[in-house]
Amino acid sequence: MRHVGFRERAFFPMSLLLMVFSSGCIATQDWVNEKIFPVEKRVSETEAGLTKTNGRVSSLEGQVQTMASQIAALDSRLNQTNAKADRALENLQQLKIDRKLVLDRRTGRFSPRIRPCSPVEPRRRSTAS
């Protein structure tokens, strides 16, 4: 029988380990940086765009709040205007009823016309000269 030494016994496991570890990742740091840099750049640009968009959205939210308060104020004024218009319409209806009851001062009869009333009628000048 032949005597097998340490070198001969360790050759196979060492060669196996060398093959496993040497065939692994052969990427260098430069290669990784070359592949990762474009991705990092896109991510940074996207984050910058997102930050800008968030700022615009915040600005628009403020404008929407301002417009909402303006709309509420306009709605209130519109309701007041509607109430005034309703009162004016009621007054007009009442005026039509009152118109039927106006007496003509000259004839003493009911007159269908409404004459403007003035508190003091102007005096007419006499033309006797």
- Residue 111's Cβ-count burial label (10 Å; 0-12, 13-18, 19+) is middle
Query: How confident is the model at residue 109, as a pLDDT?
Result: 59
Residue 10's pLDDT is: 72
Q: What are 65-116's pLDDT values in tens digits?
A: 999 999 999 999 999 999 999 999 988 887 766 555 555 555 655 555 555 4
Neighbour-count burial for 47-71, b at 16+ CB within 10 Å, e otherwise: eeeeeeeeeeeeeeeeeeeeeeeee
What pLDDT does 15 receive?
77
Work out the pLDDT band at 124, boundaries 50, 70, 90.
low
Compare 54 and 23 and report the one with higher pLDDT.
Answer: 54
DSSP for 13-27, written as a single string: HHHHHHHHHHTS---
Summarize pLDDT for 21-52 with one digit per residue, the tens: 665 566 677 878 888 899 999 999 999 999 99
pLDDT, averaged across the chain: 76
Identify the three-state secondary structure at position 110. Answer: strand
